[in-house]
Structure 1
Amino acid sequence: MEAAAGLLRWPLLVPGLADRAASGSGSAAAEFEPWNRLLGTALGEMCGYSLTAAWTVLAASALRHRSFPRWFAVLGTAAAALILAGVVAPWQVPGAQQANFAGYVLWSGWLLALAALWGHRSA
């Protein structure tokens, strides 16, 4: 949801700013930058990372109580922690972007493992 709201800045803001820039009545880049920071970085990225991490921890915990393997909960929690590192990436914290990227790669593997485990349990 937050990522979608963050992405909506492109079709909603950019056409109007481009029209103003084309008519010479303002600097589109200067007007776009605060919106980009608010909608893209604050709402889209930071809230998106936080909510993805929270959902993953809650899902891993709930599945652990349904007798999924312990390694599965640990893998999900590790992915969530690495994803959460993305929250500090806008402040140029060393390693935050790499940790976030690694978290999403690990999270993708976790989701594939979830599908495999769930399919195996249903069969």
Structure 2
Amino acid sequence: MVSDRRTAAFSLIASGTLALVASVGLSVQFGWPDILDAPAAEVLPAFAEIAGTVQTLFLLQLAGSLVLIPGVIALHLLLARSRGTDAALLTVTAFGVLAPVIQSLGWIRWPLVVPGLAERYLDPSASAAATEATAATYELINAYAGGALGENLGWLLQGVWAVGLGILAWRAADVAPSWLRRTLAVVAVAWTVSLVPAGWLASDPLTAIGSSIYSVWYLVLLVLGVTLLRHRADEPASVPA
């Protein structure tokens, strides 16, 4: 149990730290996430100016997503010892593992695909038709890998995991103190509710709310990780056979 607790703690701390650093850096340096809605004529030249920085920051986002997977599994094991393994816990954990994978499909386009598109778009020898085709390719990839997968579906799935985790851990005093479990549940519900209309109804106010909430979510991950390291609860009651 101690090993699972530490695995979960370090995973959550690493994920929250990497994601927070990357998101702040991208916001300051690249105007993220607002730039995701900008046309290729604006995005690709802006990317080319600081390509190395943007690639590095999105790699941090990628790492922040993937490093959460061991924490999701470790939290599953902690909760299983407290309440037993059932369909609800398995379903929540499946959402938690799938979400970072989906997010990564969105993050990876920036270090791997966009550099080549930016180079072709800014190539002075390219024809107007080639430039337009490159712009159309970027916007298609951005809409699918970014808008549909990474920035919407991935975050929605993680929100569902967080809501499920908050519900299942509500009485699990051996996982985290009650104040943090309640905070987790409130933030997760607010975040998920804001993401659904923000992603599919293109509501600017709700998009802003969703962006703010998942910034808070990074902090919640950090606090949860630190609390798992520090919190000492009584041994959980044995689970009935």
Same fold at TM > 0.5: yes
Q: Which residue of 1 aligns with 2:182?
A: 74
Determine the C-alpha separation between the residues in 1 that align with 2:145 and 2:187: 25
Match of 2:60 in 1: none
Show the 5 A alignment for 1:4-23.
4-10=104-110, 11-12=112-113, 14-15=115-116, 18-19=119-120, 22=123, 23=126
Partner of 2:17: none
**CA deviations over 1:75-108 (Å, ceiling 9, x no partner):** 1122112322134324331421232123223323
Q: What is the CA distance between 1:43 and its match in structure 2?
A: 0.5
Query: Which is bigger in relative contact order (C-alpha 8 A, separation at least 6)?
Result: 2
Is the Cα–Cα contact under 8 Å of residues 82 and 99 in structure 1 kept in the other structure? no
Q: Is the 8 A contact 2:170 2:182 kept in 1?
A: no
Distance 1:88 1:14, change over 3 A: farther
2: CA distance between counterparts of 1:61 and 1:111? 16
With 103-112 and 29-38 compared, the bigger mean Cα shift is at 103-112
Moved more, 93-102 or 10-19: 10-19
- Label 1:120 to 1:31 Cα distance change in 2 as closer, same or farther (>3 A): closer
Distance 1:17 1:108, change over 3 A: closer
CA contact (8 A) 2:121 2:135 kept: no
Identity, in percent, stands at 22
Q: Determine if the alignment matches structure 1 residue 44 to structure 2 residue 150.
A: yes
Which among 166, 171, 185 is matched to residue 60 of structure 1? 166
SS at match of 2:157: helix
* 1:30 paired residue number: 136
Aligned to 1:121: 231
Which whole-Å CA distance do the structure 2 matches of 1:65 and 1:9 have between them? 40
List 4+ stretches of structure 1 deviating above 4 A: none
Q: For structure 2, which runs of at least 5 residues remain unmatched after alignment?
A: 1-100, 234-241
Q: How many residues align?
A: 123
Alignment equivalent of 2:198, drawn from 84, 89, 94? 89
Shift of 1:70: 3.8
* Higher helix proportion: 1
Please give the alpha-carbon distance, in whole angstroms, between the structure 2 residues aligned to 1:94 and 1:81: 19
Structure 1 unmatched runs, 5+: none
Conservation of the 8 A alpha-carbon contact between 2:177 and 2:231? no
State the superposition RMSD in angstroms: 2.7
